[in-house]
A = this chain, B = another copy of it.
Amino acid sequence: MIGASTRLVAIIGAPIAQVKSPDIFNRHFEDNGLDRAMIAVDLTAAQVADFVAMVRGWQNLDGFVVTIPHKNAMARLIDDLSPRARFLGAVNVVRRHPGGHLSGDMTDGAGFVEALRARGFSVEGKSALLIGAGAAGSAIAQALAETGLAELSIQDIDAMRAKILVAKLAAAFPQCHCAVATGDMRPFGLVVNCSPAGMRDLEPPPVAQSIIEMMPADGLGAEVITSPEHTLFLKAAAARGLAVQTGVEMAKAQFQLLAQAMGIMDGDHHA
């Protein structure tokens, strides 16, 4: 139970009720007898700058996770960015140093690749289709390109956004062939939905059935969405007998990365 001396971390976003981090972190804190808690902060975009200003004086807060739609705004508000956060212009985790200095990282891509590694799926030499060139999609694209992917097709309802991401990746990772997806029918070994399409079960899945049909037998369908855990896209991929990776698996793989980024793994505060 939270008390007056409990040290806090937060996750900020809007909406927030669907995120899994509070359950994962608070279960860890409880299992390890730590006087720590993660709170979920449902925060409107207009107040993100006020939140950052206030956090500088929030002395029992060690850091916070950032989720939709605040990842890009956060990158412009804090003091230091990791190289990958700077490349992506987005931040999903911020550490509050004593005195109020704020440093940020973007671990969505590393978390996604770590989840793939944990299940024994190798991206080296493969071709992938990625849907959604927003903050999470860009981070996953960067991590996949860095990890040895051979080809990456990127699709977004905002064609310019996809084009800009492709150009940035092409410049930074010349060994990975990046292109805007053109609707061509190719057998993608990995299809990742990084768009919010699928958060409501009634929406059409963001991946055409014909794409799923063409995937090789060792192909994998992956999601960033955590709720519902099994989206219509993942259900369609599973129905074809393909392996699937849920957003919840990615969230779990990210736990260590986020905790380290907030500096709460060493010198944990025991109750």
A39 within 8 A of partner (CB): yes
Inter-chain contact B37/A46, CB cutoff 8 Å: no
A101 within 8 A of partner (CB): no
Inter-chain contact B47/A54, CB cutoff 8 Å: yes
Inter-chain contact A59/B40, CB cutoff 8 Å: no
Inter-chain contact A42/B23, CB cutoff 8 Å: no
| A190–chain B nearest beta-carbon distance, Å | 28
Contacts of A2 in B (CB 8 A): 2, 22, 26, 37-40
A8 within 8 A of partner (CB): yes
Q: Chain A residues in contact with chain B, CB under 8 A?
A: 1-6, 8, 11, 14, 16-23, 26-27, 30, 37-48, 50-51, 53-54, 56-61
13 of the cross-chain contacts (CB-CB < 8 Å) are A1-B27, A2-B39, A2-B40, A4-B20, A4-B23, A5-B40, A8-B41, A39-B39, A41-B61, A42-B58, A47-B57, A51-B57, A54-B54
